Structure 1
Amino acid sequence: MGKHAKPSGKSAYEAPGSMVRARPLPVRSAVRLRRPVDIWHKPALSAVVALAIPDLTLWALGRLDLVLYTSAGAMCALYAHGLPYAARVRTLAWVVLGMVASLGVALTAASLITSTALLVVCASLVAAVHKVVCEATRIGPPGNIILTFIAASAFFVPQHPGEVPLHMALALGAGVLAWLVCMAPALIRPQGPERIVVARALEAAAGLLRTEAGTGGGQPARVPHARHATAAAVNAAWHTLFLIPVRTPARAAARAGLERLLVRAESALGDTGRAIEASAGAEAEPRNTRIAETEPHNTPFARAEPHNTRITETKPRNTPFPRAEPRHTPFPGAEPRDTRFAEAGAEADRLGGWACELRSGRQLPEVALSTAQAEELAGVAAEEPGPRRPAPGHPRGVRAVLARLAPGSPLLPIGARVAAGCVLAGWASMAVGVGHPYWAVVTAASIYQANTTLSWQRALQRTLGNLLGLLLYSALLPLMHLGPLAMIALALACQLGTEAGITRNYWLGSVCVTPMALLLTEFGSPVPATTLIADRWIDTVVGVAVGLACCVLVTNRRAADRIEVALERVAAAEAVAFGLLVTGPATGADDARDIGWARDRLAGCLVELREAVEVAAGEWWQRALPEERIAHAEQRGHRALAGLVRRLSAPALAA
């Protein structure tokens, strides 16, 4: 299912129109290690510093029983490290306020409610709110799990109403400290986050050029994947740059330099777009019929279209933009194939070198652009001259979040899953006599992902990681007996290990999360180690089993509806794009700006469509997906996107 499953035969369903999928759940891909995220050390070090200062202060005061409350604010240091500092200021503030508010609700409930079963219900509802809001705001890692972990724990901490304000104040103070820690790097590298996101786009574009050149212009499965990854990375980079204010000339110049690099990375989509058209034209020839019939099964961007339709839509004479368009760097299309692919490799090396310069903090390289690209970035003919702005017509900020939470949103079934699964997991934990039912609640909340397949993978990872984590905790018991300072050091080391491992795979991070969670329990009220280990393991098994059962029973039937909406948006964006392409090359800044906005809309719609398809494909109970329409929309969309990029970059200037 999802991106890890490979369809076999003509259909992934039991029968035409069948409602139940017959795809196996992945196992090996769930435990396979990946390359670590490039900035994993930033949240890791930020959290260690934000935790160490209040922990050592409480140790000096002899009040380590308050560690839970300061940890609530300090853990906010894990968020928003991919955002520019101007946006991080606001985002982190909202995270801290959300954490303190959740803690306040939990502590108030703990002080007023004596029924454990009712506390489980309250904790589950808060967990569902965390999940839905974090998905709607697209806050990014670590998502809802940190908020839910702290809040669910606080629901079961003995509390008096008069103590709640003090404990919330401690959390707020630690949150302010976390905010300062996360903003401190701005004093040294104020452009660090945006340079990294542009470097990722350059690296993705370089990978696309190397992949296309390495396949000789063919269309194996990895080429469309590389093209989509590049489009997604470039789209994410543009949205990041749009968050940067340009109140001073210096900031405007810095952003303009990054935009020029990003436009150069984006031009790779136009260059590889020629291979799409070339392969499409080849498929129309009888001697390549066998290739055309077999290739789509391995290519998610060119699948399951009727052969006659593909010929009609992909013949060069029917393309909606001229094939005789002027060629441009990085490699002219009129050159021999070997020369063209050699130039592609050289451009890939150039982009990779620029990415390294961005990451190292060196001065931005000079990049030459076409006249249309320069006019679009400069906005010389816009009503309000200035840097590039996002395409109009799409809600942003609070309005975008509210739109994602509107009635009919596909996020609402996910929230229902979390609420039902957490309640039943907590009650099941109580039924077997476990003294920490909130662990079952947190376990159930942590496994719910975008679809059933990803939830299954997370459940498997959580179980494996907790088992190994309990073994690690048992091995660390002698060190814990050395005293409070040793326990603080171990907790900080576990936090560092969590961030180092979780980007490689969730189970690897869970190995360190488990002893850290048990250490937080030890700070508040010491419990025999054997009891803690037994309770943690039982709660893990109960939470995973009940959570998966609810994931299967509470289906997300709206996932397929999201595909229909995404297809409509792609079709509308394609119509605008093709309309601009048939009018001829951009002749001024206004035309360049319109083409740029059309490119932004289309790229965003294609990313949204692919995300919707992957989410729906991982649901076990779903109506048949319109695979032919999806493949057709993605093919046409990427051809139009390549045409828009070429229209802006032709003729391009040499670097």
Structure 2
Amino acid sequence: MSTQLTPLGTRARPLPLRGTWRLNRPGDIWYKPAFSAATATAVADGALLAAGRPDLVLYTSAGALCALYGHALPYAARAGALAVLVLGMTAGVGVALTAASLTGSAALLVLVAALLAAAQKVLCDASRIGPPGNIVLTFVTAGACFAPQRLGQVPLHLGLVLACGAFAWLVCMAPALVRPHGPERVVAARALEATARLLRARGDEVPGARHAATAALHTARRGLAHTRADGHPLAGLEGLLLRAESATITEGADGAAARLHESWARDLRAGRPLPDGPWPAPATGGTGAATAAGPEPVRSAGPQDTPTATGAGAPVGAAGPSPARSRRRRLRSPLVPVAVRVAAGAAAAGWASLALGVGHPYWAVVTAASVFQANTALSWQRALQRVLGNLLGLLLFALLPPAVRTGHAATALLTVVLLIGAEALIARNYWLASVCVTPMALLLTEFGGGHPARELIGDRWTDTLIGAAVGLLVCVLVTNRRAADRTDAALGRLSEARAAALALLDAPHSAHEAGRARDRLATALVELREAADVAAGEWWQRALPAERVRLAEHDGHRALAALVRRLAPAAA
């Protein structure tokens, strides 16, 4: 991406178009969230139709849509994460419904929806709950802010949210009865596939492929933190990952090794027995230093808080930070500018929609909230994708009224089909998923009472343009200067982790110590690449130390390779 130097010593970066419309590979487990959410939604809608209360679909949908989350997590971690998510969804809807029952001011309700959107964005990014992130929560709570409501109705409606959320929890946990270790196998298979891509890479493809393999292997090891006990059905899986990691040390393409790793990945996905070893013995203590709650998904471009001093970015044995230092760190978090962007942009979009007399201002709030990504470049691309997807989705919705008029049962069926379509397409490109999400959102309004299709289409299109334009404007005005600071901090953590690893290699050490150093160094490498990618996409930023980042990554990967050779000398 070309840059030009400004008089202030910062760099103004043009907003890119490349890759905006490109279709990616389909998601490998898209059917799991798709059919889980479809099942929860279909059961909830069926119960409402049987009771003759389709007007309550907003509240049952709020709980049912929780089934979209957590499918990359091992079941032990998934249980806790989904429980917290359901409670968070219920709390957000509770705030929205209470506000709707206490005030009739649309401007004030827009502000409540915007603040909820900002809080949901920060909490989802900080917890790394994973796709679909905050946007589903914001979609539900923004609509709830404008649902006609009396204070006495709030407990019943929240009870519906909680009940359907509990059912969604059961749906997401049910596969554990059949394949109790399926998620661990999937995350390990992804790591093996990333390793195979690295083994096939040539020339300029190698650095990106090496980072992707390092990140996937690191995520897989974290996901296996609670499967390390001797005799566990997957006790040998970490040895397989260590063998894969040792293969990444080799220089140059190796097609035979790539095919071998791909065959192992297929075996894991198919539920076949683990490939025969011999595997290197895993370094006890390394992965155990990671959270036992399950894998922490690595996002290629997303803000995250800096690790605490007791996490992977701190020296082994370091004391935890003081409360005052923790407060300062939170205030310096890269998530703070993101929260400001979401709150300001969503509120401004909603108020602009009100000023223009649009009948559904919360759609502008949701559009603005969906635009805000990790940096300005990604937000620009998301805005373009949202506009195109909504336009095509509105054209699709214009063809649906004849089917909708046959009754609420047809509307419910179409909603479920569109939900599955959105999940099937979201990994391909966001604009494709929006083609399904847009008519689905409009169909949900039909349960609360029929609206003229022309009015719904006009309001949705106007709110899409308002939300996208205002969201981008706020992205430009509210710059994230902390993105470059985060890169500097990540460079420092990588330097410390590399120094500790090299010192360990020069002295006698146990496999436990080597494993912890390996995990710490891999974490630092992943965080540096994330931080550099986020900073590179901010349109107004001081010059980034690109060459320093490149050299740090190169030296870090060499140190990581040396540790792997010590952990798995036979495999290496």
TM-score, reference length from structure 1:
0.80
Q: Does 1:174 align with 2:164?
A: yes
| Match for residue 283 of structure 2 among 376, 379, 383 | 376
The equivalent residue for 1:579 is 503
Alignment match, 2:421: 497
**Letter aligned with residue 367 of structure 1:** G
- Partner residue of 1:232? 215
Cα drift, residue 443 of structure 1: 0.3
> Pick from 96, 107, 112: which aligns with 1:117?
107
State the AA in 2 paired with 1:230.
A
Question: C-alpha displacement at 1:224, in angstroms?
Answer: 1.0
Q: Is 1:394–2:384 an aligned residue pair?
A: no
Q: Match of 2:5, SS?
A: coil
**DSSP-derived class of the 1:622 partner:** strand
Q: Residue 68 in 1 paired to residue 58 in 2?
A: yes
Contact 1:136 1:404 in 2 (8 A): no
Does structure 2 retain, via aligned residues, the 8 Å contact 1:31–1:505? yes
Matched to 1:445, the amino acid is A
- Equivalence for 1:613: 532
Kindly state the Cα deviation for residue 350 of structure 1 after the two structures are TM-superposed: 1.5
Question: Contact conserved, 2:238 with 2:282, CA < 8 A, in 1?
Answer: no
Alignment of 1:144 onto 2:115: no
Deviation at 1:193, TM superposition (A): 0.4
**Paired residue for 1:517?**
441
Cα deviations by residue, 1:203-233 (Å, 9 ceiling, x for unpaired)? 111121122xxx4xxxx21011111110010
* CA 1:626–1:16: 2 relative to 1, 3 Å: farther
**Residue 259 of structure 2 corresponds to residue 349 of structure 1:** yes
Residue 12 of structure 2 aligns to which amino acid in structure 1? R
Amino acid at match of 1:634: E
Confirm whether residue 420 of structure 1 aligns to residue 344 of structure 2: yes
Provide the aligned length of Structure 1 versus Structure 2. Answer: 544
In 1, are the aligned partners of 2:12 and 2:539 still within 8 Å (CA)? yes
Change (3 A) 1:68 1:415: same
Which of residues 239, 245, 259 in structure 2 aligns to 1:266?
Answer: 245
Residue pair 2:197, 2:209 contacting (<8 A) in 1 also: yes
* Partner in structure 1 of residue 277 of structure 2: 367
Q: CA deviation at 1:165?
A: 0.1
Post-superposition offset of 1:16: 8.5
Q: CA 1:404/1:449 → structure 2, altered by over 3 Å: closer, same or farther?
A: farther
Q: Residue 376 of structure 1 aligns to which amino acid in structure 2?
A: A
Contact 1:17 1:624 in 2 (8 A): no
Alignment equivalent of 1:436, drawn from 356, 360, 382 = 360
Report 1:444-459 matches (<5 A).
Answer: 444-459=368-383
Larger radius of gyration: 1
Q: Write the distance in 1 (CA, Å) between the matches of 2:439 and 2:6.
A: 48
Distance (Å, rounded) in 2 between the aligned partners of 1:612 and 1:28 = 21
| Deviation for aligned residue 1:618 | 0.4
| Unaligned stretches of 5+ residues in structure 2 | 292-308, 313-319
Whether 1:548 aligns to 2:472 is yes
Amino acid at match of 2:213: T
| Residue pair 1:43, 1:499 contacting (<8 A) in 2 also | yes
Task: Tell me the secondary structure at the aligned position of residue 288 of structure 2.
Answer: coil
TM-score by length of 2: 0.92
Q: Secondary structure at the match of 1:435?
A: coil
**Residue 257, structure 1, aligned to residue 156, structure 2:** no
Shift of 1:177: 0.4
- The equivalent residue for 2:9 is 18
Q: Is the 8 A contact 2:40 2:167 kept in 1?
A: yes
Cα displacement string for residues 537-558 of structure 1 (whole angstroms, at most 9, x for unaligned residues): 0000001111110110001111
In structure 1, what is the Cα distance between the partners aligned to 2:247 and 2:550?
22
Provide, for residues 40-73 of structure 1, a one-character-per-residue CA deviation record: whole Å limited to 9, x for no partner.
Answer: 0000000000000010111011100000000000
Decide which of 66, 78, 87 is 1:88's aligned counterpart: 78
Deviation at 1:578, TM superposition (A): 1.4
Distance 1:264 1:67, change over 3 A: same
Give the 3-state SS of the residue equivalent to 1:20 in structure 2: strand
SS of 1:270's partner is coil
Please name the residue that 1:326 is paired with: none
Give the structure 1 partner of residue 404 of structure 2. Answer: 480
CA contact (8 A) 1:270 1:644 kept: no
Q: Please name the residue that 1:165 is paired with.
A: 155
1:14 shift after superposition: 2.4
Please state if 1:29 is matched with 2:19: yes
Residue 28 of structure 2 aligns to a residue in which SS?
Answer: coil
Q: What SS class does the counterpart of residue 368 from structure 2 fall into?
A: helix
Match of 1:557 among 460, 473, 481: 481
| Structure 1 residues 129 and 388, CA gap change in structure 2 (3 angstroms) | closer
Gaps of 5+ in 1: 1-5, 276-340, 380-386
Residue identity opposite 1:101 in structure 2: A
Give the letter aligned to residue 270 of structure 2.
S
Q: Provide the secondary structure at the position in 1 that maps to 2:540.
A: coil
* CA 565–388 in structure 1, closer or farther in 2 if over 3 Å, else same: closer
CA apart distance, 1:525? 2.3
The answer to whether structure 1 residue 79 and structure 2 residue 69 are counterparts is yes
Deviations 1:14-49 (CA, angstroms, capped at 9, x unpaired): 2697313243x2224111111111000000000000
* 1:537 aligned counterpart, secondary structure: helix
The alignment-based identity, stated in percent, is 58
Contact 2:191 2:217 in 1 (8 A): yes
- Note if 1:594 corresponds to 2:513: yes
Seen in structure 2, the aligned counterparts of structure 1 residues 395 and 573 have a Cα distance that, compared at 3 Å, is: closer
Q: Which portions of structure 1, spanning 4 or more consecutive aligned residues, are displaced by more than 6 angstroms?
A: 402-405
Q: Is the 8 A contact 1:391 1:597 kept in 2?
A: no
Q: Which amino acid aligns with 2:542?
A: R
Letter matched to residue 211 of structure 2: H
Indicate conservation of the 8 Å contact 1:86/1:245, yes or no.
no
Are 2:289 and 2:516, in contact at CA under 8 Å, matched by a contact in 1?
yes
- Residue 202, structure 1, aligned to residue 192, structure 2: yes
Q: Which residue of 1 aligns with 2:299?
A: none
Task: Give me the whole-angstrom Cα distance separating, in 2, the residues matched to 1:28 and 1:369.
Answer: 43
Pair 1:58-2:41 in alignment: no
Q: Match of 2:522? A: 603
